[in-house]
Amino acid sequence: MSSATPAAAPDVTNPDVVLVVDFGAQYAQLIARRVREARVYSEIVPSTMPVAEMLAKNPKAIILSGGPSSVYAEGAPRLDRALFEAGVPVFGMCYGFQLMAQTLGGTVDDNGAREYGRTQLHVSRAGSTLFEGTPVEQSVWMSHGDACSAAPEGFAVTASTDVVPVAAFENDEKKLYGVQYHPEVLHSTHGQQILEHFLYRGAGIEPSWTTGNVIEEQVAAIRAQVGDKRAVCGLSGGVDSAVAAALVQKAIGSQLTCVYVDHGLMRKGETEQVEKDFVASTGVNLKVVDAQERFLTALAGVSDPETKRKIIGREFIRVFEQAQLEILQEEGPEVAFLVQGTLYPDIVESGGGTGTANIKSHHNVGGLPDDIEFELVEPLRQLFKDEVRMVGQELGLPEEIVQRQPFPGPGLGIRIVGEVTKERLDLLREADAIAREELTAAGLDREIWQCPVVLLADVRSVGVQGDGRTYGHPIVLRPVSSEDAMTADWSRLPYDVLAKISTRITNEVADVNRVVLDVTSKPPGTIEWE
């Protein structure tokens, strides 16, 4: 086990950062994504962060998100007026718009002007900074009960609706702007254009943030962090670990060794894909550890999903540690760094992070032991999933890896509801392979976020097959559509595709006599069943 002293990772700071202040909005991450789609780097910060700390980040602009509170309610999130007097361009959306109005002397109240969903916006100043080049009548997405009835002094009202007199206002002199609606959602037909107008025209930011820049910056940061030491990367077969490994390989070359722990919980053909396609495209040094029997033995008799996760996490890191010792014995220099495919949503959901720390848990595997002392290299921690895919393409990874659907670290172990056995894994692998084949054949791979296939191992139902009565397991199909997995809806797949998947699974997979479709959104359900 490495005993390296953790040290702070180099901070690669984009000079044109835009801060998204989160007031509890369901769309805060989406706002940050839309800013990045405009080729401007963005970060999310909590509304509880002191204004002085926000300004210390030297943001080129600040966006105030929506939120569920009423601005005049007791305990509602507030902002120091100093934010609006610091000379930094600010754009308020929904709650952020109302908070800006109230803080600067405008009027926000509950006047019964509630608007939810698609609403017609009337633009009164078509040549304004925000609205130039957009229609005077446009559809926007509203979600508010309170309304701004009077703009602060010095602000020009630039749009309204049938029931809200101030649906947008602008102050070019102070570079302060706001809209009552949500420009970040696709239902606001010109929302991205409005956002870009704020970034480019209002804030004067040049659109220069690209995946090429990300690669250059991270290669430099990785080299500075790792120096002449060695790093290991646990390859899971997923997009995140593959792209992280490829990026680190580009930075430090032979100083990186990738370890693929074959725990026997992967889908059909994925182990071979890692061993052949990934190595061929990157030239990385790969060590494969066959630990299938070890994992099956550890999981024997266990049905509780959280216990399964902890067992898989524990066994993974122990196998990984043994592989590290073998690398040390074979190659000599100390392996001080562990490469991990942590993404920006993971950082946001965990409340932030300092960048380098001893491993306590892993968002994919879960439940890792507390006594691990690797120093982390997390080259993707600034990126969303779609950005990771673009980096992977830029690095030359195969399409099959780059476009792979999200897959949990514990693998099929948490897609079997019940005890994990070799027989049940083989059964689920075949059913999953059929579902993936048919979705691909139908050209639906890019239309769905992922399609977990779940085996209800502890459930049996009556069926009729071959003129005989059967008592087989149900298979659950869980196709979902999402942008970042924070929320998701079930995918409306064509009936003929569902019928073909069901027919093939019940005909070709032994001991399965029923296929069911999960039509639950997230929330209230999660994407995975366990």
The active-site residue out of 94, 148, 258, 451 is 94
Q: With CA atoms as reference, report the closest residue to 389 among 451, 446, 452.
A: 446
Q: With CA atoms as reference, report the closest residue to 27 among 103, 122, 119, 95.
A: 95
Taking the C-alpha atoms of residue 413 and residue 266, their distance in angstroms, rounded to an integer, is 9
The two three-digit tokens of residue 36, written as one number: 């990045």
Instruction: Tell me, yes or no, if 182 is annotated catalytic.
Output: yes
The DSSP 8-state label assigned to residue 417 in this structure reads S
Report the Cα–Cα distance between both ends of the chain, in Å, rounded. 31
Biggest distance spanned by C-alpha atoms of the chain: 81
Taking the C-alpha atoms of residue 486 and residue 346, their distance in angstroms, rounded to an integer, is 10
The active-site residue out of 43, 144, 170, 182 is 182
Q: CA 242, 248, 254, 257 torsion: positive or negative? A: negative
Instruction: Tell me, yes or no, if 451 is annotated catalytic.
Output: no
How far apart, in Å, are the Cα atoms of 432 and each of 339, 462, 480? 29, 22, 15
Taking the C-alpha atoms of residue 501 and residue 491, their distance in angstroms, rounded to an integer, is 15
> Which residues in 241-304 belong to E strands, given as ranges?
256-262, 285-290
Q: What is the DSSP string of 473-494?
A: EEEEE--EE-SSSSSBEE----
Taking the C-alpha atoms of residue 339 and residue 258, their distance in angstroms, rounded to an integer, is 9
DSSP 3-state of 45: strand
The active-site residue out of 43, 115, 184, 378 is 184
Question: Based on C-alpha coordinates, what's the Rg of the chain?
Answer: 26
Instruction: Tell me, yes or no, if 122 is annotated catalytic.
Output: no
Annotated catalytic residues are: 94, 182, 184
